[in-house]
Chains A and B, each alone.
Chain A
Amino acid sequence: MNNHRYEDEEFQYIMRQKKTMKASTKAREKSLLTFQDGLKDVIPKQKKKQNRQKLRQRFFVTVGSVAAAGIASLIFINYDFVQDGGLLDSGEDEHDGEETFNEMVEDENEKKEDIILEDVEENEALVERILDRPIIDVNVLNTMPMHQIQNETFSIYLPDEWSIEEEEEDYVYSTHMTGPDSERMEFFLFDRDVNQEQIADEIEETLTKVTSTEETTVSPNIYNDEFVMNNQIRTTFDTMFPFDNEMTEMYAFIDEESGRFTELYISELFGQSMIYMMDVPLEDKESWALSWTFFSQMFVTETPYTIQGTESEDHPQFDRPLEKSVILNEGAASFRETDIELYEIDEFGITSYIPVNVEEERIEHEHFIEFRFTDEDFSRNSFYSFGKLKEGFPLENGREIMFHAFNIDQAHHEDLGGGDGYGYGYYDGSGDYDIEGYIQLFEVSDNWYYTHHHSEREDNNGIIYNKWSYMFKELIEWE
């Protein structure tokens, strides 16, 4: 212990040698002026409040020590009387009197101590208790209706008979979900330009709905470990929670008196600050798994989805970020974050995005021009490409021309069909490795283009290359 103290002192001594940066005279003056300026409205408001408090004290003298429930009504009677008698400040508007009344009632209701998150500490016994949740049954999950929330940005599963309401305010979009047996979930996502105080206010507001006889902080990793150990179900992202655990604060509250179990998660989801709260009956253990289902099965409704705040500076000519991160789905229910960069094909007059680190190559074929993208770290024999068909391309022979160009053995290939119009799916196992792919021709402004992914099955990347190809087409901007 003494050794620690000695080290602290040593460290403190060093830290104090740091040159103290002082504000310049000008900066001090500006700061003081700003301080004074900010107080201009606050001081009169405070004076008015103090006057009202004096008035309230007078009311309480009138009512003496009558029981709390009666106090409100007595005050109300007195309040009417006083207002009629003209004792209130003449400068007050009609709502001020009402506020005064509300404040009085609130005073009577504020007997329960507020929850202060900073004071909540880990309670191991409680953590143990709340980890004991039913596993998520895939059969039950399959029966749950899927809902789109946050203005259809995310998709989630909720049990039957739940209702959802959404609200958009200046800096926050909130989703309120209510179950048939008083279960409740609230989900707030904040705009990127929100300030910390606005978030703190929303947390405070959320906490007013939480009561507790016992509380604890919870490490997201503990939840994650428990989830992985007991649940066989896959999660839509790599981890149980789609947010960064390091940036997350989690709390759990149990109120034995009111019989409620509440969880609060504060984190950042895809670049946006987030508050999530679940409040369910303590006795209904089945409902405890709702929060885990909510996040482990949540997915982005439409991809590619840009993660806010990841955009780099814009390209000076194209006004598009040079780099950013997006969420892409890999298959129906698997999602992953991918870093992408702006890519220009000058001769086509387009820009789009490709994953960082892919190699690109321009290949001139007889009937079309191809831009081929490969990532050898990922797969040596796979690629995806985007290209433009040359004038006079015989569309009626599209399949043959494209298959010939990409060495798809027409004698051995299996036509997977699919697609619309000029879409050609294939599987080819005639070579050294199995390949599956898809070529889609499409027309934009009287010009014909194509997308193509050609994926080695062994690398299990058909899905990835398909998505990268899809992303390229989705994100094209035409000059």
Chain B
Amino acid sequence: MDDHDLIREILTGDQQAIQKLHERYVDRIFHYIYTQTNSYHDTEEMLQDVFFKVARKLDQFEGKASFKTWIFKIARNVVIDYYRKQNKERHSIAVEKDYLEDIAGEDESAETTVLRNFHIDEVLQLIDRLPSHYRTVLHLRFIEEFSIQETSDIMGKSILSVKSMQRRARLTLFEQMNLEVSSQ
């Protein structure tokens, strides 16, 4: 039974369908939120918030996009609201833009070479240190395997901006790896 079938069943009051849909997404949404907050406690709170919002709006879900895109978009909004209320982070994508633009034209195969020379744990640590919007785009694209179009829907950004963000995320990571190498 796909997501749309489950939603139809839920709206007729089928309790099992509610549990199935919840089970299908609870860990993915949890992991997605955690990626951006790095706080287990906050993630738990936001997880409830996401599912409450999904529930309240489920009858308005039109099925134009996939349910997966829709729920991730809601999760993204919950995270933004959380940051806004907590004033924990001012969102900005002005990350050494000029430098990144400068190196954007470099041969990407160099990236692969550097990736190979690093231990995976080290790379993952560096990913955790990236700004949250970079982590978000990498998570959505490479873990959830959303397309560029779906990622742009979820993040509320244009396709071009998602492409550029993804490239910058990778370049920033690449740059940090180079810094690690040169400091060793």
B101 within 8 A of A: no
User: For residue B43, which residues in chain A have a CB less than 8 angstroms away from its CB?
Assistant: 21, 23
Are A37 and B124 within 8 A (Cβ)? no
Are B22 and A38 within 8 A (Cβ)? no
CA distance A247 to B158 in the complex (A): 12
Are A34 and B52 within 8 A (Cβ)? yes
Of B15, B58, B92, B123, which one neighbours A246 at CB under 8 angstroms? B92
Of A35, A45, A246, which one neighbours B51 at CB under 8 angstroms? A35
User: For residue B78, which residues in chain A have a CB less than 8 angstroms away from its CB?
Assistant: 196
Minimum Cβ distance to chain A for residue B12 (Å): 7
Are A39 and B55 within 8 A (Cβ)? yes
Are A122 and B160 within 8 A (Cβ)? yes
Minimum Cβ distance to chain A for residue B5 (Å): 15
Taken residue by residue from 115 to 148, chain B's Cβ proximity to chain A (1 for < 8 Å, 0 otherwise) reads as 1100010011001000000000011001100000
Are A10 and B115 within 8 A (Cβ)? yes
- Contacting chain B: which of A11-19, A134-142, A172-180? A11-19
CA distance A331 to B128 in the complex (A): 46
Are B59 and A49 within 8 A (Cβ)? yes
A309 within 8 A of B: yes
Query: Contacts A23-B30, A31-B48; is A11 near B81 (CB within 8 Å)?
Result: no
User: For residue B64, which residues in chain A have a CB less than 8 angstroms away from its CB?
Assistant: 116
**Interface hits, B49-72 → A, CB 8 Å:** 49, 51-59, 64
Are A192 and B84 within 8 A (Cβ)? yes
Are B30 and A21 within 8 A (Cβ)? yes
Are B112 and A43 within 8 A (Cβ)? no
Taken residue by residue from 216 to 244, chain A's Cβ proximity to chain B (1 for < 8 Å, 0 otherwise) reads as 01000000000000000000000000001
Minimum Cβ distance to chain A for residue B2 (Å): 18
Of B55, B90, B157, which one neighbours A42 at CB under 8 angstroms? B55
Taken residue by residue from 115 to 147, chain A's Cβ proximity to chain B (1 for < 8 Å, 0 otherwise) reads as 010101110000000000000000000000000
Minimum Cβ distance to chain B for residue A465 (Å): 29
Of B40, B76, B112, B143, which one neighbours A15 at CB under 8 angstroms? B143
CA distance A42 to B127 in the complex (A): 40
Measured CB to CB, the nearest residue on chain A to B153 is A118
Are A32 and B93 within 8 A (Cβ)? no
**Interface hits, A157-202 → B, CB 8 Å:** 192-193, 195-197, 200
CA distance A116 to B94 in the complex (A): 27
Are B52 and A196 within 8 A (Cβ)? no
Of B10, B85, B138, which one neighbours A193 at CB under 8 angstroms? B85
Minimum Cβ distance to chain B for residue A219 (Å): 9
Of B81, B85, B108, which one neighbours A4 at CB under 8 angstroms? B108
User: For residue A120, which residues in chain B have a CB less than 8 angstroms away from its CB?
Assistant: 158
Minimum Cβ distance to chain B for residue A29 (Å): 10
Of A18, A35, A43, A45, which one neighbours B52 at CB under 8 angstroms? A35
User: For residue B94, which residues in chain A have a CB less than 8 angstroms away from its CB?
Assistant: 246
A87 within 8 A of B: no
A20 within 8 A of B: yes
Measured CB to CB, the nearest residue on chain B to A19 is B124
B172 within 8 A of A: no
Are A15 and B142 within 8 A (Cβ)? yes
Query: Contacts A21-B34, A45-B59; is A14 near B52 (CB within 8 Å)?
Result: no
Query: Contacts A10-B112, A21-B43, A309-B87; is A37 near B55 (CB within 8 Å)?
Result: yes
Query: Contacts A11-B115, A23-B30; is A30 near B92 (CB within 8 Å)?
Result: no
Measured CB to CB, the nearest residue on chain B to A312 is B87
B103 within 8 A of A: no
Measured CB to CB, the nearest residue on chain B to A35 is B51
Measured CB to CB, the nearest residue on chain A to B93 is A246
Query: Contacts A11-B115, A38-B52; is A247 near B159 (CB within 8 Å)?
Result: no
B13 within 8 A of A: yes
Are A34 and B55 within 8 A (Cβ)? yes
CA distance A64 to B49 in the complex (A): 46
Of A7, A18, A28, A217, which one neighbours B109 at CB under 8 angstroms? A7
Are B143 and A16 within 8 A (Cβ)? yes
A111 within 8 A of B: no
Query: Contacts A6-B112, A7-B111, A46-B11; is A35 near B18 (CB within 8 Å)?
Result: yes
Minimum Cβ distance to chain B for residue A115 (Å): 13
Query: Contacts A7-B111, A31-B22, A46-B59; is A196 near B48 (CB within 8 Å)?
Result: no
Interface of A toward B, CB cutoff 8 Å: 3-4, 6-8, 10-12, 14-18, 20-24, 27-28, 30-32, 34-39, 41-43, 45-47, 49-50, 116, 118, 120-122, 192-193, 195-197, 200, 217, 244, 246-247, 249, 309
Q: Which 4 A-B pairs have the closest CB atoms?
A: A38-B55, A196-B77, A35-B51, A15-B142
A30-B48, A46-B59 known; 15 other A-B pairs, CB under 8 Å?
Answer: A14-B120, A15-B127, A15-B138, A20-B27, A22-B27, A22-B30, A23-B30, A23-B44, A32-B19, A35-B55, A42-B58, A118-B149, A196-B77, A196-B78, A196-B80
9 A-B contact pairs sorted by A residue (CB < 8 Å) = A12-B142, A14-B123, A30-B47, A36-B15, A116-B64, A196-B80, A249-B156, A249-B158, A309-B87
